[in-house]
Amino acid sequence: MSPSRSSRNSLQSVDLRALDYLTSPSANLLCPICHAPLITPVQTRCLHTFCSACISLSLERSSTCPVDRKPLNHDDVTPAPIMIANLVNDLVVLCPNREKGCTTSCARWLVESHIREDCEYATVKCAKEGCDGMVERREAEGECVHEEVECAFCEGAVRKLDVELHYKECPKLSSDCRHCSKSFPNPELAAHKLICPDEIIDCAASHFGCSFSSRRSELDEHLSHCHFVALTPILQLHTERIETLELENKAIRQKLDLLVPPRPLPTQLSGATSSAANDSSSGRDMTSEMQDYTYHLYSEYEQLRSDVERLNAQIRELDVKQDMARFNEGLRYNDEMTGVRAAINGLRMQLHWLVASRREAGTGGAGAGGARSVAGSSASGDGRRMSVDSVRQVVKL
């Protein structure tokens, strides 16, 4: 690295939370709050791990663990084991200047020094003496782009760097409205944007839940019958009231936390219970006993709930199994039925043949005997049907 370059360290800041990772990291290394790999990992008393910044934000809003809702205070939060910190710091990230063109990827703990000292796309101070402008490092050696030149249209002074940008607002030029694509002189564009009939805007009560949005020209029609707009004054009032109540609630909770420690340590608890006879602290003992009892009940409740859930799952499984068994049984019966039917058919054929051959042997005649044999066979057919029915009944049984 040349000395002239190292003297131009980049001041571009790196937001570790916004980094993109080369491969998606193990779910165990993700913070339950921001769902990104942990940054400065800390551990709670209930053994959950969060980013230091995330849990602080969460504790500002609620004194409970964001995972299991157990009571939690700043004092219950300690740095996570160094191994976890090492694991997340070694994850490979892509350079934050990737969109500008940098293809570097490196361990997360190195990314700040990459930006500060190496990245060709990080912004550094302009090389020209006396110039305060910033350029990308790869262009730092080129000519200064911060000198002012004259605009060809309005004759105003513009930095070389900003010429393109200036054309969008130069008072002598026109630009197109993004919404209606009509062209307006730049000075009038801002005013037009406030009234452009084609811009898609949300209902005035969108923050109260109305999901309607339409072109500005058509919104009035909606506003005239939108229930949310009609309710806005009262909803506003309620929001304000809820906010004050929340503030009050927070203050009260803080006071309460001072009076009653949210979760006494087990040793304190047993000590307090054993000295229950002591009059001076009996009130205190009552509350800790109550707490003890509540926690006990709560854990029992949790246990019961998980039991019920497990039983439910088992029942569902059994149901499925039973359905399958019934289905299989049905198939088997079907097969058996077909077998029985085939057997009966065989019997029928034999019977038919036997009857016919006996008739023939008995009468010997062809004319009237033939007719009788037809009647006989149909009678035997009835008998057969009956026997099939009875077999069917037997199968059903």
Partner 1 sequence: MAAVKRITKELAEFSNNPVPGVSAGLASEDNVFKWNVILTGPQGSPYSGGVFTLNLILPTEYPFKPPTLNFTTKIYHPNVSNDDKGSMCLGVLRSDSWKPSCKIVQVLEMAAGLLKEPNVDDAVETSIADEYKNNPESFEKTAREWTRKYAK
Q: Which of 16, 36, 203, 229 binds partner 1 (CB under 8 A)?
A: 36
Q: Does 58 bind partner 1 (CB under 8 A)?
A: yes
Q: Minimum distance from CB of 256 to Zn ion (Å)?
A: 20
Query: How many residues bind partner 1, per CB under 8 A?
Result: 20
Does 225 bind partner 1 (CB under 8 A)? Our answer is: no
Among Zn ion, partner 1, none, partner that 151 touches (CB below 5 to 8 angstroms by kind): Zn ion
Residue ranges of alpha helices (H) inside the chain are 3-6, 52-61, 82-89, 111-113, 163-167, 186-195, 216-225, 227-259, 266-274, 282-363, 367-396
CA-wise closest residue to 131 among 149, 143, 120: 143
Q: CA-to-CA distance for 41 and 24, rounded, in angstroms?
A: 18
253 touching partner 1, by CB under 8 A? no
Contacts of 72 (CB under 8 A, 6+ apart): 44, 45, 46, 59, 63, 64, 65
> How far apart are CB 208 and Zn ion at their closest, in Å?
9
In the complex, minimum distance from the CB of residue 203 to partner 1, in angstroms, rounded to a whole number? 12
Q: Which stretch binds partner 1 (CB under 8 A): 62-70, 76-84, 99-107, 147-155?
A: 62-70
The answer to whether 84 touches 108, Cβ cutoff 8 Å, is no
Is the Cα dihedral 168, 174, 179, 181 positive or negative? negative
The two three-digit tokens of residue 264, written as one number? 């006494």
Residue range at the interface with partner 1 (CB under 8 A); choices 6-14, 32-40, 128-136, 333-341: 32-40
Residue 209 interacts with partner 1 (CB under 8 A): yes or no: yes
224 near partner 1 (CB under 8 A): no
Minimum distance from CB of 128 to Zn ion (Å)? 4
Burial class (CB in 10 A: 0-12, 13-18, 19+), 218: exposed
Residue 227 makes contact with partner 1 by CB under 8 A: yes
Q: Does 305 bind partner 1 (CB under 8 A)?
A: no
* Interacting residues toward partner 1 by CB under 8 A: 17-18, 32-36, 54, 57-58, 61-62, 66-69, 209, 211, 227-228
